[in-house]
Structures are given as C-alpha cells and as structure tokens.
C-alpha cells in the first residue's frame, strides 16, 4: 500500500522538509515502508494560513452544507477497505475486529454531528424582542447565536487510531462547529492518518468545501509551533498528562491565550459495595477483570482503582480478581514507548513499601502482563501521586477501607476523573448517597452496575471531568456536546434581518427552536421596531 | 454610617490582620471614616474553606431554593437606602441618579437569574434511553445535566460598584449555578462592598442557606492567594488587561489550573458608513459625543475608535464631533489611580508622531477632560499597540480610511472587542457585508444604529468577546448566559431514579424541557431496562 508521507495543506500535498520520520510495525518493531516528511515551520504556517483563509467561508456556510460534508466524510470512512484495516492493525497491534468496529464508530460519530447540525440546537439561538415603549429606556432588539471560534489544532491519540484521531471526535466537533482543522498526526499510526486524511480531502472536494478546511501535518517537533501560531484559536488533545499539560502551558503563555481541551489522565475508581459483593462478588470479579484487560488496558476509562470495605467477602473478591488476571495472556501494546511507560509504572508500584503486588507474571519481553496490586488506604488519603496517576495498561490497584466513613474520605481524596463506577445492589444505595454525591463532584460520568470501558457516542455522554482527567471540566470529547468547546456566542443588537444569520431571522427559516423572550419557541416573529 | 471593615467569612465577621486599608472620598481624595482589615492568609484559607464546605450542600439544593435566596438578595438590595446611595457616590464620584439606577439594575439582574433557575434550561438536561436489544451491543441508559464547578472567586470592578461588584453579575451567575462565592472587594468602594455583603448575608440567613455560601475579603495583597487556593474552581474578574492577565497566568500555573473569566480591554470600534453620514452626520456626531463622555467614559463599552471613509462629509463630521467634545465639562473620575492612568494614556497618544490631537482642553487638575485624536490608518494596519489598548476615560480616536477595501483591512487588524457598531443606512448595508462578517469574528456584540454604552441584562446579551476583550470568548459576564461559565456537565449511566437529580428523573418532576433521544421534550418516561 503506497504511502506518500506528505503533509496535507490547503488540499495539496506538501513535503518541503528534509527531516523524515517512520512508522513502525507494532508487533515486530520494524520500520514500515515509506517515509513521512516532518512539516517545516513554513509548512505549519501555511497549514494555519489555509485554515484561517477557509474560516470566513466555511463558518458562514449553511449548517446543512457542513452536514453534507460531514456525511461525505462518514461515507469515505466506511469505504476504507480491508487493506486499510490491515495497515492500521500493523501500526497499532490492535486486532482487526476492533479496528473494523472503530471505523464504524468513527463514521457513526460523524453522522451524529451531521444530525446536530440539521436539528440546530447547537446554535443556542436566543431572541429578546425590542421593547420600544419601556421606561425609563426602551430595549433594543437583541439576538444571540453561536459561531465557531476559528481554526482548531487537533492532536490525535495513539489508542484510538480512528475514533480519537484524524477524523475522530475532536475533528468532527470542530468541523461541525464551523472551524477548519489543522491536524497533527500521531507518530504511532502515520500511514493510517494519511489514508484517513485522504478520505477527508475527498469528502471536502466532493462537497465543494473551501480548500484549507482540513489540513494535516507530520512530525514530532511541530506541535509546539502549531499551538503557538496566532491563527489557531483552540486546541483538542487526547494523550498523556505530561503532554496535555505542556500544551496547556504553551497556550496559556501565548500573547493571546487560547483554550486547550486536553483529555489526559484518569484512574476511574470502581467501588464494590457490600451487598453487591455479597450477592454477585464472583461475577463482578470476572467482569471487572475483563474491563481491566480489554484492549490491553489501553483505554482512558480503564478501571485503575478498585475500592471496597474490608470484609471476608472483599478478601475473597480480591483473590478471585487476582486469579482471573493471572489467567490472562499478555498482549502487544500500541508501540514500544507505551510498553516502556507501562513497565516503568509497574516498577514504581513494585518499589513502594505501601503497595503490594497481588497477581500477575513478572513484566518482561515485548508484551504487557496484566497486574493486580493492593495499596494501603493511607496512601490515597495522603494523596500519594502513585495512586492518582494512571498506569496506562492492563493494571489495577485495589484498596480496602474500614467503613463507609473512610470510603467517603477516600473518594474525597481523589483527583478529577473521567468516570466513577458503583457496583451496587438496591440495598447499598441509601447507605452510600454521600459517597455518590462526592463522586459527582469529581467525575464527568458516574456509572451504576456497568464498567467504564465502552464510551457511548450520544447526546448525553460526558467524556470529560475535573483536572487532571481533562484540562477543562466544562467540556467533553465524546458525544454531541463536544461541539460546545469550539463555539462562542455573538449578540446582534438592532441588526436588520438582511444581515442576520438565518438562525436569527424573523421568519425562522431554519424552523429551529429559539429562546424567545425567555420561552422556547419555533415561531416566526414580526419586528416591533 | 458605621463601617466595621471586617472580612465576612462563613457568615461571621473576621479581622485577624493588622494591615489596614482605607476608603477614599473620590471627590476630595481624603480618607473616609473607618478602616478595613486586610485579610490574612489564614482568613483567605478560612473563606475558601467555608465556601468549600458550603458547596456540597448548596449545589444540591433544589434550584427553586437557590432562586428564593437570589430573590431575597434582590429585595435586600432594593432596601439599601439613600444613605447607602450617598456613601457609594462619595466613594466613586458617580452621580446618585446613576447609583440609584445601578441598584435597580443589580437587583433586576438577580431576579433574572432566579427566573433562569425556575425555568430550568440552565440544566441542559439530556436523556438517551437504554436500547437493550441493540446489536452488537446494547446501549445503557445515559443522562446528562450540569452542576456548579465549585467555589468561585469574584473580583469586583471599580466602574460599576454595584452591578459588577459584590452582588454583581459574576456573583449572581455563580450563586445561581450553585457555586459559593469568595468575593474580593475592590479598593475603590470598600464601604459600599461592606453594605452589600451585609445585604447578601441577611438574604442567606433569611432563606436558610448554608453558611459560607458568600464570603468577602478585603485587601490589596489577597487576590493572588485567593486565585492560587486549591479550593477555588473558577474566577470572575472585571478590570484592566494587566490585572486580568496576571490572574489568568496565576490560574494557568496552578498544579490544578482553573478557568478565569476576565473582562478586560476593548476599544469598541464605531464605523460611520457613507450613506448614514450623508443623511444624519450631524446627529451622529452629537450622539457619539454623548456616548464617549457618558459616565466620564468609564464604561467597558466606551467607543474608543471611530472609523470612516475619507470624504468631505467625514471631515465635517470629525469637526462636529470635536466641537461637541470641546463643549463637554470635565468630570471627576472613579479614583486618583484612574485619573493617573487616563493622563498617562493621553500623554502616550500626544507623544506619537502618527497621532494628532484634534480637540479637548489640556489634561490638568483633578478632573478628566474629554479628548479627540486622529490617527493614521497605517498605525492600525501595523497593529500599533497604542491603537489596540483602551484609554479608560472620555477619549476617542478617529481614523480615516481610503475606501471599503481599506476599511475591511482595518477591521481585520483589530484585536478582540466587546462590541462593534455600524452606523449605517439601509443602502450602506449590502456594500459592507464583508466588513460585517469580519466584525462578527472579532467581537461579542454587533450593533447597528445604536451606541455600545448601555448593556441590556437579558437572555440574548453577550458582554464578552475574543482576547483581550475577555480571557475566554466563550463566556459572557452580562445576561443569563453568564451562568454557563460556572457549570459543567455530568453524565449518569444506568443510575437508578432514586440517585438521579430531579432534573433527570423519569417522571420529570420539574417539568423542564429535556433533549430526549435527540428531540426536545417535557415528557415523563418509563424506564426500559
């Protein structure tokens, strides 16, 4: 399968630089055919200039036109064939069934944003009609809707080469919002990124989008220049705490600071409550093991911390969980760097006197061994960093607490999380209402009797949460609300219908719901002034 | 009128510190009676601890209970009497009619947020019902609404001692969102702040709110400690670019960064278009002069830049505007620091060879003289900082451009603004559609045939805009949308009705509109799982 290794700028391929980077076979560690041209600073500049030039045109297209583009992307993604699937598997060591599923998820995500554009609630249109006879002063006609913030830089994640990458959730949300994208390809799947970028460009051409609506650059040194570029107005990122925080710091230090929506580190606590443990502890141990090792533990929502109240039943549960984990085969990780990080994370846990290794083969070789650790609750209460930072891979830490009161203290010691899960029977719930409330204040999503891995793409999803889960708890990177990150409100005072966007025109030509003098309404209106 | 000068912490008065600060009579420059105790670091800590302790209780109150509190604040504000008005006038040199009006605006703003709480759209409730028979995987029940982010630090502005201060828009929005507030009183009106804080505490007591829902601290050195405090989750600020940016930098450098919503610097360009100039240039000159000198030019939305196309009519207009400004009496500014800044700003303009002084008495004495300057468009096109930064006071700069194309370039050279205004006749509009689009991308509010001073408090208002107008273009500090800054979404997966917030319960007990499987609905529902 031919790889050009060229950057995509304004709908053209570009390879001005001499620095070459290579994609690696995740199973063998060997270089794959083809070389990728790291973008030069001029190319970064050209990519942002292309996005900036596209912005005024693209943002003012009817939302239905943007929906057509996004649906065309979905079609192009669905057409990516078995060779493409094989290529992605080669780059990431993820199994083909997973990549086939992720392809469907990624095109489905695009189609969901097209629906959002067609239904129009993303505009958040509001109209306060003029009150010309109000005293002491009349009220002018005031209308509000939301426009895109401008060109968005998106950084792909390693662990979802499709759904959180080139045409992933951040790109979909930005394009839906009317924001052109400059995408920085992840080094872990550059050939995959090239194929997906080509699909995006085909969709843009088919639907006559402005050139520059989507651009992609390669290279390890280009991210900082991209985030610093004055043309970039917001950043989407999924990856490590270190990487995400670095981008936040760069963005905050700009002459004109911009928001960074970084999804970073979460240990996703799972609380196994007494009654549930009593009635189905063995089943929970088996299911939880499945959630820990799924996809080699390479999910942002991987359960990294298990909490329960000390009891004979919980001791038995820990043994069962350890037993299941010991039976799991090692798996190949996304790339050598991921395996190195995993090994280092395990070493830090093994070296700590307050942490006990409970189950798992010694980590060695080129695959990741599932691991179970036990930690003293005092470490959590003291906010020891080892217990707050994600060990990315098939590893989890179990902590026993004395009682409900200590469980509440433990929850209150947690940093921000993407998810928290209660495994609970009906009788557990009244006892743990305070715990539930404390979890709400620390997470983006609370689950009861489910497992955090598996993130539904829908209107109600929140894949976000307080720091360090993300850099901005008010956002989500999965689900339709993700579009909000890239929109800002604009108010029109006494603006004639001819200059107003369709969403705010008197006749309501889009037929959308608007907050009209404080009441939701789809009505047309006649101007009072 | 007795002033205690004590900080308000957890509903109690506190004066642990020995550092005293004093309020000044804005007219005479003399110390007013009473001394204010600068908060110690322990008191800052205690104030945040009180807010943090109040948060779990306060955020979980029914929204109608928070509405009662907010309405009680409005009542208490309305009861502040003539002595209070006189005190505020003394501290700020603002006329009493203005303060009376501002008192009504501030209580009205509170009542508007109470309406928002009662109507419930701030929850943004979303429900995606379970699809238990979906293949390959069932969909769980997923629900989303928004909760407060946690304790909010609010910094009062000097220029609106009521509406943007102790019980101003940021406080109202935070309290409505369910976030306790720690308010840092502005040094320019500390006695006023004490009276308003007392009114807030009375309202909290009358409506049985948790102690710590509102706290206030005095002192010039305490802001940094407040923003750095790990218990604070967001910051609201109105003031200078320098002050706002400093808080943003502090917040971004925290171990756990938090958002700062700072409303800072705007020059609010006014474009006088040819046909409007032709038909009513003289009237515009008079009205624009009124907007420039209103309140001694001490408004965030003061028109600081006037743009027009070079012509005999525009030359005449400039002369008329200069003539009107020359006739305006000098006015006392908010405080000595404001006058010093104004004088320095004028000196910088006078010293620049590309800027010409067109009208206004030489600035001297203890009042501000209105001023008109002319600048060469090249300064704007080169993004000279002198033309981008607000001179806070009754001063405006006029720029002549060659034609529509140069006007578009000039608009594109502008930094972010709170407002932009087109003074235009119907025939002007088609010619300047591109200019209108370029303005949209740079401002929070576009006006046609109005003046930017005067900010309506309503649903559709945006008092925000791209940097440096604010630190986050996605927010507004006036109008009901201001509540969004202090809310974040939380998702509930498969959570039993008994643990769900009322806004998301099956029966829809609040009767609010929810996005139910992608369609707005007030329906109750029966659980499918």
Torsion of CA B285, B289, B290, B291, to 10 degrees: 100
Distance between CA atoms of residues B266 and B469, nearest Å: 5
Instruction: Pull the structure tokens for residue B156.
Output: 């009062």
- Rounded to a whole number, what is the distance in Å from the CA of B493 to chain A's nearest CA? 5
Inter-chain CB proximity B139 and A456 less than 8 Å? yes
Inter-chain touch A249–B252, beta carbons under 8 Å: yes
Give the best residue of B149, B474, B476, B517 to mutate against chain A (max A CB count within 10 A): B474
CB of B250 within 8 Å of a chain A CB? The answer is no
Distance CA A92, CA A99 (A): 10
Rounded Cα distance between B329 and B314, Å, is 25
Nearest to B450 among A121, A468, A494 (CB): A494
Query: Which of B140, B471, B492 lies closest to A257 in CB terms?
Result: B471
Name the DSSP letter for residue A471: S
Per the structure block, which two tokens stand in for A126?
A: 């509001």
Decide: A135 and A95 in contact? Cβ < 8 Å: no
Could you please report the per-residue DSSP string of A106-164? HHHHHHHHHHHHHH-GGG--EEE--BTT-SSSPBPPEEEEEEE-S-EEEE--SS-TTTT
pLDDT, tens only, A405-461:
999 999 999 999 999 999 999 999 999 999 999 999 999 999 999 999 989 999 999
pLDDT at B58: 98
If pLDDT is split at 50, 70 and 90, which confidence band does B526 have?
Answer: confident
State whether A450 and B142 contact (CB < 8 Å). no
Q: What is the mean pLDDT of residues B184-194?
A: 97
Residue of A440, A460, A484 to mutate when probing chain B, most B C-beta within 10 A:
A460
Task: Give the C-alpha separation, A472 to B486, whole Å.
Answer: 12
Q: From CA B285, how far away is CA B306, in angstroms rounded?
A: 11
Residues from chain B contacting residue A415 (CB–CB below 8 Å): 256
Is A518 in Cβ contact with B149 (below 8 Å)? no
Q: Name the catalytic one among B263, B389, B390, B406.
A: B263
- Which of A142, A433, A456 is closest, CB to CB, to B140? A456
Cis, peptide link before residue A471, omega less than 30° from 0: no
Question: In chain A, which among 195-234 make CB contacts under 8 A with chain B?
Answer: none
Any A CB within 8 A of B381 CB: no
| Cβ-defined contact of A140 to B456 (cutoff 8 Å) | yes
What is the tens place of the pLDDT at every residue in B54-84?
999 999 999 999 999 999 999 999 999 999 9
Q: What is the pLDDT of residues A301-313, one digit of tens each?
A: 999 999 999 999 9
Q: Are residues B461 and A256, on separate chains, in Cβ contact within 8 Å?
A: no
In the structure encoding, which two tokens stand for residue B523, read together? 């329906």
CB A482 within 8 A of CB A231: no
Which residue, among A357, A422, A425, A424, has the nearest Cα to A391 in the 3D structure?
A357
Spatial CA neighbour of A309 closest among A298, A322, A318, A299:
A318
Q: Which of A263, A389, A390, A406 is catalytic?
A: A263
Q: What count of other Cβ atoms lies within 10 Å of the Cβ of residue B146?
A: 23
A135 lies within 8 A of chain B by CB: no
Cα-based distances in Å from B200 to B6, B14, B167, B172: 15, 16, 7, 11
Q: Which residues contact A278 (CB under 8 A, 6 or more apart)?
A: A313, A425
pLDDT of residue A528: 56
Cα A233 from Cα A54, distance rounded (Å): 14
What sections of A186-259 are H helices per DSSP? 190-206, 223-228, 241-252
pLDDT confidence band for A1 (50 / 70 / 90) = low
What confidence score (pLDDT) does residue B20 get?
Answer: 96
What count of other Cβ atoms lies within 10 Å of the Cβ of residue A386? 18
φ, ψ for residue A30, nearest 5 deg = -95, 155
Which residue of chain B comes nearest to A440, CA vs CA?
A: B490
Is residue B528's pLDDT more than 90?
Answer: no
Determine, for residues B121 and A520 on separate chains, whether the beta-carbon distance falls below 8 Å: yes
What does chain B come to in residues? Answer: 529
User: B494 — contact with chain A (CB < 8 Å)?
Assistant: yes
pLDDT digits over B483-506, tens only? 999 999 999 999 999 999 999 999
Active site annotation includes B300: yes
Round to whole Å and give the CA distance between A109 and A115: 10
Separation in Å, CA B351 to CA A366, B337, B340, B344, B347: 69, 21, 16, 10, 6
The pLDDT value given to residue B372: 98
Half-sphere exposure of A137 (CA within 13 A, CB side): 10
Phi, psi values for residue B155, rounded to 5°? -110, 120
Q: Is the pLDDT of residue B42 over 60?
A: yes
Interface contact B515, partner A, CB < 8 A? yes
Kindly report the backbone phi and psi dihedral angles of residue A371, in degrees, each rounded to the nearest multiple of 5, phi listed first. Answer: -140, 145
pLDDT category, B1, cuts 50, 70, 90?
low
Q: Do A144 and B444 touch (CB under 8 A)?
A: no
Q: Are the beta carbons of A227 and A251 closer than 8 angstroms?
A: yes
Chain B interface includes A385 (CB < 8 A): no
Interchain CB contact of A405 with B (< 8 Å): no
DSSP secondary structure code for residue A526 in this structure: -
Q: Do A248 and B257 touch (CB under 8 A)?
A: yes
Q: Are B212 and B50 in contact (CB under 8 A)?
A: yes
User: What does the radius of gyration of chain A's CA atoms come to, in whole angstroms?
Assistant: 25
Most distant pair of Cα atoms in chain B: their distance: 80
CA B105 vs. chain centroid, Å, equals 13
Report in angstroms the alpha-carbon separations of B33 from B161, B332, B525: 19, 21, 62
Give buried/exposed letters for A496-509 (b at 16+ CB in 10 A, else e): eeebbbbbbbbebe
Q: Would you state the structure tokens that stand for residue B276, as one six-digit string?
A: 């409007």
CA distance A403 to chain B (A): 21
Using an 8 Å CB-CB cutoff, list chain B residues near A468.
Answer: 256
Nearest to B473 among A149, A443, A454 (CB): A149
Nearest to A404 by CA among A267, A270, A273: A273
Contacts of A281 (CB under 8 A, 6+ apart): A272, A313, A314, A316, A317, A320
| Residue A377 · residue A309 · CB < 8 Å | no
The 3-state DSSP class for residue A244 equals: helix
Interface test with B, best of A118, A262, A489, A515 (most B CBs within 10 A): A489
Query: B451 CA to chain A: closest CA distance, Å?
Result: 10
Helix (H) or strand (E) holding B274: helix B274-293
Q: Cα(A345)–Cα(B207) distance, rounded to whole angstroms?
A: 51
Confidence (pLDDT) at A136? 87
Q: What 3-state DSSP class applies to B376? A: coil
Q: Cα(B494)–Cα(B138) distance, rounded to whole angstroms?
A: 12
Q: Does B499 contact A128 at a Cβ distance shorter than 8 Å? A: no
Distances in Å between the Cα of A46 and the Cα atoms of A251, B151, B180 are: 20, 43, 46
Tokens, residue B93: 């040199």
Mean pLDDT of chain A: 96
Is the minimum CB–CB distance between B169 and chain A shorter than 8 Å? Answer: no
Beta strands in B402-467 (DSSP E): 417-423, 443-448
User: CB A490 to CB B140 under 8 A?
Assistant: no
**CB contact, 8 Å: A436 with chain B?**
yes
What pLDDT is recorded for position B32? 95
Do residue A462 and residue B515 have CB atoms under 8 angstroms apart?
no
Checking if the pLDDT of A204 tops 80, the result is yes
Q: Is A8 a catalytic residue?
A: no
Q: For residue range A93-108, what is the model confidence (pLDDT) as tens digits?
A: 999 999 999 999 999 9
Chain B residues in contact with A467 by the CB 8 A cut-off are 256-257
Residue A396 three-state SS: strand
Q: What is the pTM of this model?
A: 0.97
**A300, A389, A395, A406: which one is catalytic?**
A300
pLDDT tens digits, one per residue of B407-449:
999 999 999 999 999 999 999 999 999 999 999 999 999 999 9
A220 pLDDT tier (thresholds 50, 70, 90)? confident
Is the Cβ pair B144, A481 closer than 8 Å? Answer: yes
| CA nearest to B4, candidates B222, B217, B191, B186 | B191
3-state helix, strand, coil in chain B (%, to 5): 40, 20, 40
């Amino acid at each position: 399968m031919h790889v050009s290794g060229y950057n995509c700028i304004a709908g053209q391929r570009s390879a001005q630089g001499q620095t070459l980077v290579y994609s690696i076979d995740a199973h063998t560690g060997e270089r794959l055919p083809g070389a990728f041209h790291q973008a030069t600073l001029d190319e970064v500049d050209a990519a942002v200039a292309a996005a900036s030039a596209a912005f005024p045109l693209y943002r003012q297209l009817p939302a239905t036109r943007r929906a057509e583009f996004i649906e065309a992307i979905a079609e192009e993604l669905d057409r990516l064939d078995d060779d493409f699937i094989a290529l992605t598997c080669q780059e990431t060591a993820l199994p083909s069934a997973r990549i086939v599923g992720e392809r469907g998820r990624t095109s489905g995500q695009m189609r969901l944003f097209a629906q959002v554009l067609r239904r129009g609630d993303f505009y958040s249109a509001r109209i306060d009609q003029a009150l010309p006879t109000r005293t002491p002063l009349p009220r002018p006609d005031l209308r509000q809707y939301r426009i895109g913030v401008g060109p968005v830089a998106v950084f792909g994640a390693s662990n979802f080469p499709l759904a959180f990458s080139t045409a992933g959730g951040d790109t979909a949300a930005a394009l839906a919002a009317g924001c052109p994208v400059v995408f920085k390809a992840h080094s872990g799947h550059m050939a995959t990124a090239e194929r997906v970028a080509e699909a995006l460009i085909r969709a843009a051409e088919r639907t006559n989008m402005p050139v520059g609506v989507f651009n992609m650059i390669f290279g390890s040194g280009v991210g900082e220049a991209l985030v610093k570029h004055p043309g970039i107005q917001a950043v989407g990122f999924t990856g490590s705490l270190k990487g995400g925080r670095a981008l936040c710091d760069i963005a905050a230090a700009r002459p004109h600071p911009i928001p960074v929506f970084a999804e970073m580190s979460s240990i996703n606590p799972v609380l196994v409550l007494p009654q549930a443990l009593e009635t189905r502890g063995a089943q929970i141990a088996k299911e939880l093991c499945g959630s820990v090792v799924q996809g080699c533990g390479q999910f942002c929502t991987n359960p990294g911390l298990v909490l329960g109240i000390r009891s004979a039943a919980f001791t038995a549960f820990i043994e069962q969980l350890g037993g299941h984990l010991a039976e799991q085969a090692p798996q190949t990780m996304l790339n050598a760097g991921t395996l190195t990080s995993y090994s280092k994370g395990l070493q830090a846990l093994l070296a700590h006197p307050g942490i006990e290794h409970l189950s798992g083969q010694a980590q060695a070789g080129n695959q990741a061994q599932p691991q179970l650790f036990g930690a003293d609750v005092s470490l959590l209460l003291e906010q020891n960093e080892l217990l707050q930072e994600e060990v990315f891979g098939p590893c989890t830490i179990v902590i026993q607490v004395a009682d409900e009161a200590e469980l509440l203290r433990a929850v209150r010691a947690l940093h921000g999380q993407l998810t928290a899960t209660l495994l609970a029977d009906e009788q557990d719930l009244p006892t743990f209402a305070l715990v539930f409330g404390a979890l709400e204040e620390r997470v983006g999503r609370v689950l009861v009797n489910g497992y955090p891995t598996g993130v539904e793409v829908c209107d109600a999803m929140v894949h976000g949460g307080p720091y360090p889960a993300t850099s901005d708890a008010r956002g989500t990177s999965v689900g339709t609300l993700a579009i909000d990150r890239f929109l800002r409100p604009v108010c029109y005072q006494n603006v004639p219908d001819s200059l107003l966007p369709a969403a705010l025109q008197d006749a309501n030509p889009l037929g959308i719901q608007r907050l009209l003098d404080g009441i939701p309404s789809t009505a047309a209106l006649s101007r009072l002034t």
